[in-house]
Structure 1
Amino acid sequence: MMGQGTSKYRKIMRTPQTGENAGKKLWYATAVSDREMSFEDFVTHISEHNSPYSRGTIHGVLMDTLDCLKHLILDGKSVRFSDLGLFSIGMTSRGEVSKEKVTAASVQGVHLIVRNTKSWSNAELKKLTKIVAYDDYTTGAEDGGGTENTPSGGGTSQGAGGETNKDNGGTSQGGGGTSQGTGG
């Protein structure tokens, strides 16, 4: 059973280009990841949580798991990883004028898709986290800062990138995969 965590947000201004708020400058909360845990630190974290397995055993099992997961996904299989999610591969493609013109050359990229499960649903995750302003959490300040020029606002988005947005604490995952909504 997961315990309650603390999710931080930063306040950013955006101007939506479509929808009922198109052209309006509005303030939004966007998730902030204020720290990144390395794989080795994650292995240590697991081994220190009353695990009967050594750090080395956990490391080996996780490395083999990642290798197998990658192999299966690249072979076109969807892999349900317990309650974590369903992992699969997705593609981005250039549009062609006819069905016959669609070939492997039309594929512009591949990306990882992770679909959450019921126990990791947006509603369940919201129940399990305390939501606080990032600046309130770190400094006690009231203004969250940020503007529409803040690309990811410190959250996690999926697109063509692959770089870490160090200024805002967020990441951009390559490929344009599936992103999960907020709330319900």
Structure 2
Amino acid sequence: MPVQYSLSEKGNPSDQTAPKKFYTNAKSTGEVTFRSLSKEIAGGSTTVSDTDVLAVLNDLTKALAKHLSEGRIVRFGDFGSFSLTLSSEGAETADKFNSSMIKSAKIAFRPGIDLKEMLAVVKFEKAK
């Protein structure tokens, strides 16, 4: 099934006089919950239940948060990796920088080979 998209008209924030252009936005067609994902994963196995998978996914979330908060990159093999990225104010010199200048942290995900291959072949259609 193709990914649906919509269009929105946006101006150029650095040039208010420039004509507005249309840009695309991916449109969600629903969501998948942890519970339904665990049932789907368990459905491909004869040895684990959806409850087992759900327990593992919950523990995975906790372990991911723990390791990221300790500054580690968390690699999930061919799935991809997670790491922290930071945004901060600038300092005139390295000596003048301190941690209070850090304004936000975000989690970066870098997809592995399977997800990169999916991105290369995904199809798109305009949402109705």
TM-score (norm 1): 0.61
- State yes or no: 1:45 paired with 2:24: no
* Aligned counterpart, 2:77: 82
Q: 1:72-111 residue pairs with structure 2 within 5 A?
A: 72-111=67-106
* Aligned counterpart, 1:125: 119
Report how far residue 18 of structure 1 moved.
Answer: 5.1
Q: Distance between the aligned counterparts of 2:29 and 2:99, measured in 1?
A: 40
Q: What amino acid does structure 2 have at the position aligned with 1:131?
A: F
Q: Distance between the aligned counterparts of 1:30 and 1:46, measured in 2?
A: 29
Report how far residue 66 of structure 1 moved.
Answer: 1.4
Is the Cα contact below 8 Å between 1:17 and 1:23 reproduced in 2?
A: no
TM-score (norm 2): 0.84
Q: 1:23-172 residue pairs with structure 2 within 5 A?
A: 23-48=18-43, 50-52=44-46, 53-121=48-116, 124-127=118-121, 129-135=122-128
Q: Distance between the aligned counterparts of 1:105 and 1:14, measured in 2?
A: 34
Q: Distance between the aligned counterparts of 1:28 and 1:108, measured in 2?
A: 29
Structure 1, residues 100-148: CA drift from partner, whole Å, max 9, x if none?
Answer: 1211111112110111223322x64130x2311111xxxxxxxxxxxxx
Q: Distance between the aligned counterparts of 1:37 and 1:23, measured in 2?
A: 40
* Aligned counterpart, 2:10: 14
Percent identity reads 22
Q: What amino acid does structure 2 have at the position aligned with 1:10?
A: S
Q: Which runs of 5+ in 1 are unaligned?
A: 136-184
Report how far residue 79 of structure 1 moved.
Answer: 1.3
Larger radius of gyration: 2
More helix by share: 2
Is the Cα contact below 8 Å between 1:85 and 1:114 reproduced in 2?
A: yes
Give the RMSD, CA atoms, in angstroms: 2.1
Q: Distance between the aligned counterparts of 2:65 and 2:54, measured in 1?
A: 17
